[in-house]
């Protein structure tokens, strides 16, 4: 038996996928509440909770007397997403592009005070320090510098890191990746950036700093993803929240 909370999330996920895939075209109405109730074998309240989440996330808009309208515009093929945690390989698969990852450095270190201040890991934390180059369609476009908690993935190897790290953590280690905190900046290109990435006329990198947390509340990853500025693009689906007067 599916719990009510799980049911509404299940319906939300199905409807969200249909909206994103274009099965429900932009500007058109979603099926009626009664149709969805029949399809998903659930209560009206469960359907409304799922629709409410879609409204909150900016996918649909309710129109009184009409129904629920799809207002989602598909993510551009070259764009990364802001609202979800998506690996480089998953992004490439979603956008229909060919990706490869090369590990250029794989070492074990202990977090000193400077690294603790930078990353948020406690001083003395055993870490894997990992340098990776991400190629898209045969072109190197991202230089990743990652610090990973060794106690969260003690058997990590360069071979594993050259595949999908998140797939390994989730499917083989059973880790539940919950959230990440991201900061996006534009920074001068370093000698290391130029060593791995052909910047041409550019003298800067788009840098996404990511701190990822698992379901135990443990920060297991700190990564700087240094992107070629010519192809860097993040796309978000923003919703305005009502502001209460003070």
For the chain, the domain total comes to 2
Q: Which domain holds residue 24?
A: 4-70
Same domain, 64 and 114: no
Q: Is residue 75 part of a domain?
A: no
The last residue of one of the domains, among 51, 70, 89, is: 70
* Per-residue pLDDT at 1: 46
pLDDT digits (tens, 9 = 90+) for 83-96: 455 656 666 566 56
Residue 164 confidence (pLDDT) above 60:
yes
Same domain, 99 and 189: yes
Residue 186 near residue 206 (C-beta atoms within 8 A): yes
Where is 212: in which H helix or E strand?
Answer: strand 204-214
- Domain of residue 20, CATH code: 1.10.10.10
Residue 27 confidence (pLDDT) above 90:
no
The last residue of one of the domains, among 17, 37, 70, is: 70
Residue 39 confidence (pLDDT) above 70:
yes
Same domain, 96 and 17: no
Q: In the Cβ-directed half-sphere of 18, how many Cα atoms lie within 13 Å?
A: 18
Same domain, 102 and 213: yes
pLDDT digits (tens, 9 = 90+) for 9-21: 899 999 988 988 8
77 — pLDDT class (breaks 50, 70, 90): very low
> What Cα–Cα distance (Å) separates residue 208 from each residue in 80, 118, 126, 205, 211?
11, 14, 23, 10, 10
Q: Is residue 102 part of a domain?
A: yes
- Domain of residue 216, CATH code: 3.40.1410.10
Burial letters for 216-227: b for 16+ Cβ neighbours within 10 Å, e otherwise? Answer: eeebbbbbbbbb
Same domain, 21 and 45: yes
Radius of gyration of the chain (CA): 21
Instruction: Tell me what the mean pLDDT of segment 40-44 comes to.
Output: 93
0.85 surpassed by pTM: no
pLDDT digits (tens, 9 = 90+) for 121-139: 999 999 999 999 998 888 8
* Residue 21 DSSP symbol: H
């Amino acid at each position: 038996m599916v719990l009510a909370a799980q049911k509404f999330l299940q319906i939300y996920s199905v409807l969200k996928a249909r909206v994103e895939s274009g099965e429900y075209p932009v500007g058109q109405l979603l099926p009626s509440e009664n149709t969805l109730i029949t399809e998903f074998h659930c209560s009206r309240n469960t359907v409304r909770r799922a629709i409410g989440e879609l409204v909150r996330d900016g996918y649909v808009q309710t129109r009184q007397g009409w129904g629920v309208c799809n207002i989602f515009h598909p993510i551009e093929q070259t764009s990364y997403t802001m609202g979800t945690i998506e690996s480089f390989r998953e992004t490439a698969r979603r956008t229909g592009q060919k990706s490869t990852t090369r590990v250029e450095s794989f070492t074990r270190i202990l977090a000193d005070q400077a690294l603790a201040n930078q990353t948020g890991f406690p001083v003395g934390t055993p870490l894997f320090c990992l340098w990776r180059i991400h190629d898209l369609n045969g072109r190197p476009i991202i230089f990743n510098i990652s610090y990973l908690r060794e106690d969260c993935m003690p058997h990590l190897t360069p071979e594993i890191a050259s595949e999908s790290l998140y797939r390994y953590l989730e499917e083989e280690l059973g880790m539940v990746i919950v959230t990440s905190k991201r900061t996006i900046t534009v920074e001068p290109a370093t000698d290391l950036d130029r060593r791995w990435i052909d910047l041409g006329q550019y003298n800067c990198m788009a840098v996404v700093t990511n701190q990822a947390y698992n379901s135990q509340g443990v920060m297991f990853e700190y990564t700087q993803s240094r992107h070629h500025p010519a192809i860097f693009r993040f796309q978000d689906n923003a919703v305005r929240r009502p502001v209460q007067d003070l």
